[in-house]
Amino acid sequence: MQACRLNAPKLKMKTSLKSFSLMAALALAAPVWADDKKPEPKSAEKPATFDAAAQAVIAKVRKELEKPGNEAKAFGMLTDEAQKLIKLFPGNPTPYAWLIQGAGRIADDKKAAALRKQAEDGVQAILKKEPTNGLGNQVLMMIAEEKEGEAAMALLKQVAANTKGQLHEMAIGQLKKLDALGKPLPIKFTAIDGREIDLTKMKGKVVLVDFWATWCGPCVAEIPNVVRAYNKLHPQGFEIVGISLERDKDPKKLAAYVKEKKMPWAQYHDGLFWDNKFVKEYGVDAVPAMWLIDKKGNLVDMNARTNLEKKVTKLLAE
């Protein structure tokens, strides 16, 4: 499913050709490493800089991805090239990010698990020497996203302890998000139409918390589905609360938009874009993000976009 993502320190790489702009950004965003401080003469064995080597890899993999049905081969190539760069530039975390990405496209579970372990061990070795390494902590965030429960929380706590600024806030948000599942969601605000919203006081209803934005194409594409589910299930006790990531500071524009789209539910607006209060608080890094709260008032689903109507119907029957 398509989504609009936060252009933040954590670069979530997908499997499309478009994603390779993210890989390039990840490589070029890296600080100057020890291996790169004094460029060596070019040779057949080692490129002068990591950036030069990374760009060459991206070009090769991009070329493979342009061939229909060649995705598996392309990502196999990515992991092979990552292994080479790990040896050439042992202080750079970027190749470990590529190992994680490649592992997600490999059918061999044992090989994929080995790549993930190598990535985690390699990044941890870098962070042991330099705990505040920004790119290393970004890759650790990627690794945490593939884990669950205590394992994920341990890595996120490490990132939170070793970083400041946006990456620190994102790690804290992810921790809070993981901790929120199965518990009441204490979101409280005054909606753009003046309604007072307190999710903890909506027990007995099934509530969809919809993180979205008018500027987000995938969000707008979902509106008919959400409206249809609301119109069908609202009489049975289904409610929606919108958390809008608008850039525009004027809530009247959002009010006019939701009126036009026949979206009668409450909307939170602060005009802060990705710095939206609840987005930052709960580590939301892509929209639309749809969370479901059951009739007991507990957050039970953070991926409600898939089969929304079916999921709501089931929760209403409980």
- Residue 224: which CATH number? 3.40.30.10
Q: Whole-number mean pLDDT of the chain?
A: 85
Domain boundary among 139, 155, 179: 179
| Residue at token pair 């609301």 | 230
Domain boundary among 179, 198, 220: 179
Do 156 and 223 have their domain in common? no
Do 117 and 253 have their domain in common? no
Please give the pLDDT value at position 276: 94
The answer to whether 270 touches 191, Cβ cutoff 8 Å, is no
Mean pLDDT of 33-49: 50
Q: How confident is the model at residue 37 (pLDDT cuts 50, 70, 90)?
A: very low
Residue 165: domain span: 4-179
Do 91 and 225 have their domain in common? no
Q: Tell me how far apart the alpha carbons of residues 99 and 80 are, in angstroms, rounded to a whole number.
A: 9
Do 26 and 147 have their domain in common? yes
Do 274 and 154 have their domain in common? no
Q: In terms of DSSP bridges, do strands 266-269 and 286-287 run parallel, antiparallel, or are they unpaired?
A: unpaired
The answer to whether 276 touches 245, Cβ cutoff 8 Å, is yes
Q: What is the pLDDT of residues 229-277, one digit of tens each?
A: 999 999 999 999 999 999 999 999 999 999 999 999 999 999 999 999 9
Do 51 and 33 have their domain in common? yes
Do 175 and 39 have their domain in common? yes
Please give the pLDDT value at position 45: 59
- What's the number of domains the chain is made of? 2
The answer to whether 133 touches 104, Cβ cutoff 8 Å, is no
Mean pLDDT of 167-189: 88
User: Taking Cα atoms as reference points, which of 210, 226, 227, 199 lies closest to residue 295?
Assistant: 199
User: Taking Cα atoms as reference points, which of 272, 297, 274 lies closest to residue 284?
Assistant: 274
Domain boundary among 160, 179, 198: 179
Q: Tell me how far apart the alpha carbons of residues 283 and 297 are, in angstroms, rounded to a whole number.
A: 20
Tell me the C-alpha to C-alpha distance, in Å, between residue 18 and each of 61, 77, 213, 289, 315.
Answer: 12, 17, 22, 21, 37
Q: How many residues does the chain have?
A: 318
Do 165 and 282 have their domain in common? no
The answer to whether 209 touches 281, Cβ cutoff 8 Å, is no
Please give the pLDDT value at position 1: 58
